[in-house]
Amino acid sequence: QVQLVQSGAEVKKPGASVKVSCKASGYTFTSYDINWVRQATGQGLEWMGWMNPNSGNTGYAQKFQGRVTMTRNTSISTAYMELSSLRSEDTAVYYCATIAAAGTGLVGYWGQGTLVTVSS
């Protein structure tokens, strides 16, 4: 079955960078875009950007431009999201997600989330 498994929780200091991984299984990794969404504690969902795992093309929300980089390693079916110049406001759960074809419809798959805590 389709799974997205993310790397474990991280604690970072302000100004540092964090790189979260998202390993896909159960489908052809290059077939569907990967989106990254974050959620601060008790808050709503915030879309960060997307990546086409086949071409490597990316698109980022303006808020994160210059600080976020989304990459992939197709040989191990893994997507990465790196966020730099971390500040306390970046403390959140980070999710990878994809929407895949299933029969005549679509189904959404999400990773389990990675908690990133930014604290001095």
Partner 1 sequence: EIVLTQSPATLSLSPGERATLSCRASQSVSSYLAWYQQKPGQAPRLLIYDASNRATGIPARFSGSGSGTDFTLTISSLEPEDFAVYYCQQRSNWPPTFGPGTKVDIK
SS (H, E, C) 74-97: HHHCEEEEEECCCCHHHCEEEEEE
Rounded to whole angstroms, the Cα distance separating 111 from 21 reads 10
Stretch of 11-19, 21-29, 78-86, 101-109 contacting partner 1, by CB under 8 A: 101-109
Given 70, 79, 97, 116, the residue binding partner 1 (CB under 8 A): 97
Binds partner 1 by CB under 8 A, chosen from 54, 68, 69, 113: 113
* By CB under 8 A, residue 26 contacts partner 1: no
Q: Does 95 bind partner 1 (CB under 8 A)?
A: yes
> Taking CB under 8 A as the criterion, which residues in 56-75 touch partner 1?
59, 61-62
Summarize as ranges the residues that interact with partner 1 (CB under 8 A).
35, 37, 44-47, 59, 61-62, 95, 97, 99, 102-103, 105-108, 110-113
